[in-house]
Amino acid sequence: MSLWVWKFGGSSVAGPDRIRHVARRVAEARKEGHDLVVVVSAMGDTTDDLIDLARQLHPEPPARELDALLATGEQASAALLAMALDALGVPARSFTGWQAGIQTEGAHGNARVRAIAAERLREALEAGFVPVVAGFQGLNAEGHVTTLGRGGSDTTAVALAAALEAERCEIFSDVEGVFTADPRVVPDARLLPVISYDEMMELARLGAQVLHHRAVTCAQRHGIVIHARSTFSDHPGTRVVPAGTVEPDRPVSGVTSDRHVARLALVSVPNVPGIAHRVFSALAEAGINVDMISQSVARNGHQDIAFTIADGHLPVARRVLEPLVRELPAQRLVVDDGIAKVSAVGAGMATQPGVAATMFGALAGAGINIEMISTSEISISCLVAREQVDEAVRAVHAAFDLGR
């Protein structure tokens, strides 16, 4: 009998009717003879509501306690889906992360799956139950409940699929799969039937919401094919597969954007060794990831260092950098939080010249100024004014002829 791991996102279990709908899908798959392990997120806005409650009690809620609080959301939806399955005559059992044997390591709120001791799930499967696992969580070596951060339930599903050697890993959400761009922004965006791990990771890292890059990394490491599908349709969705199995037929596979970007610039710092190290190690110590970096050509022994971070880190970044302005010294710190990033991603761009030129031309043609540029093997990103970013996505999408 084939084993499938299915994961349902928060909007798929946002209320009793939707939970029942998910239960019916699971019951049908069982009827077709498949064994299933189901991973669920917290219902609808539960996680945001719990975070709100926490913030009312503490300006910066202790990470261990925030994890203990948030983990209850997925536990509740797992129990509720197990009940809905039982009501359809499908024997089911809910599992918290620790009951499912999910062992984590790393920081609270952003832990990694270290290992999965899947005996209890296997026993439940053998006894004929559908295990319903609370996503997004596990237990660390000290016995504390930890959450896996954004996209954590996707990662739970992929890690379980690997541990249980599942035949399929399907991630259900309220979108039909991975598109060439966000269909809400680009009306003629096209569903990609297949995409490589590398491209999917890059799209996710650069702003696409449909799958989280950590889940894709985990899938790639274990050779798990992910199907990204819609809870509310039977469309086959997008398969995320090893690069070798999909031939890039075009330089760019998708265009994405990220509005949660802030740019900081340290203006006129001395051009002496060790300056960049001091700046970026101070940010790293504060737990802030830096994305794009540019350093101006030195003039009169001074230069500018500019970089981007997630805009949620802005308050902490200011606290870290303001003393450095005096110490380095820099003339001043300039912060711009009115920007966004547009990115084109494609495994084919490495072998096809002119991709950057096409992208810059598309933006210029739409009258959009480029504030900063960064590139990787399979992506090009441009920083633009935030109010122009949707326009930028449309222009780049059209320039690479990605529409249906």
368 belongs to the binding site for its own copies (CB under 8 A): no
57 belongs to the binding site for its own copies (CB under 8 A): yes
The reply to whether 8 sits in an annotated binding site is yes
**Which CB, 54 or 316, lies closer to its own copies?**
54
Q: Are strands 226-230 and 238-241 parallel, antiparallel or unpaired?
A: antiparallel
List, as one string, the DSSP characters of 298-365. Answer: PBTTEEEEEEEEEGGGHHHHHHHHHHHHHHTT-SEEEEE-SEEEEEEE-GGGGTSTTHHHHHHHHHHH
Q: Are strands 102-105 and 339-345 parallel, antiparallel or unpaired?
A: unpaired
56 belongs to the binding site for its own copies (CB under 8 A): yes
**Within 10 A of 280 (CB to CB), how many other CB atoms are there?**
15
61 belongs to the binding site for its own copies (CB under 8 A): yes
Is the distance from CB of 389 to CB of 257 less than 8 angstroms? yes
Is the distance from CB of 5 to CB of 39 less than 8 angstroms? yes
In the list 29, 37, 38, 82, the residue contacting its own copies (rule: CB under 8 A) is: 82
The reply to whether 403 sits in an annotated binding site is no
Best CA proximity match to 18, nearest among 172, 165, 161: 172
Please provide residue 271's backbone torsions phi and psi, each rounded to the nearest 5 degrees: -85, 70
76 belongs to the binding site for its own copies (CB under 8 A): yes
User: CA 336 to CA 334: how far, in whole Å?
Assistant: 7
**Which two tokens mark 373?**
């540029």
In the list 48, 58, 242, 331, the residue contacting its own copies (rule: CB under 8 A) is: 58
**Which CB, 129 or 197, lies closer to its own copies?**
129
Judged by CB under 8 A, which stretch of 69-77, 206-214, 289-297, 360-368 contacts its own copies? 69-77
Q: How far is CA 283 from CA 165, 219, 265, 276, 332, in A?
A: 40, 30, 13, 11, 17
**Which CB, 73 or 135, lies closer to its own copies?**
73
The reply to whether 184 sits in an annotated binding site is yes
In the list 3, 51, 68, 194, the residue contacting its own copies (rule: CB under 8 A) is: 68
# of chain residues touching its own copies (CB under 8 A): 38
CA 63 to the chain's CA centroid? 20
Place of tokens 């952003």: 110
Region 114-173 residues binding its own copies, contact defined as CB under 8 A: 120, 143, 145
Judged by CB under 8 A, which stretch of 73-81, 102-110, 260-268, 272-280 contacts its own copies? 73-81
Residue 14 CB, nearest approach to its own copies (Å): 12
Q: In a 3-state reduction of DSSP, which class is residue 402?
A: coil
Judged by CB under 8 A, which stretch of 92-100, 188-196, 291-299, 324-332 contacts its own copies? 92-100
65 belongs to the binding site for its own copies (CB under 8 A): yes
Q: In a 3-state reduction of DSSP, which class is residue 240?
A: strand
Cis amide prior to 329 (ω within 30 degrees): yes
In the list 3, 51, 54, 320, the residue contacting its own copies (rule: CB under 8 A) is: 54
83 belongs to the binding site for its own copies (CB under 8 A): yes
99 belongs to the binding site for its own copies (CB under 8 A): yes
89 belongs to the binding site for its own copies (CB under 8 A): no
**Which two tokens mark 14?**
């946002």
Residues comprising the binding site for ATP? 7-10, 184
Residues comprising the binding site? 7-10, 47, 74, 184
Residues comprising the binding site for substrate? 47, 74
List interacting residues with its own copies (CB under 8 A): 16, 19-20, 50, 53-54, 56-59, 61-62, 64-66, 68-69, 71-73, 75-76, 78-80, 82-84, 86-87, 92-94, 96, 99, 120, 143, 145
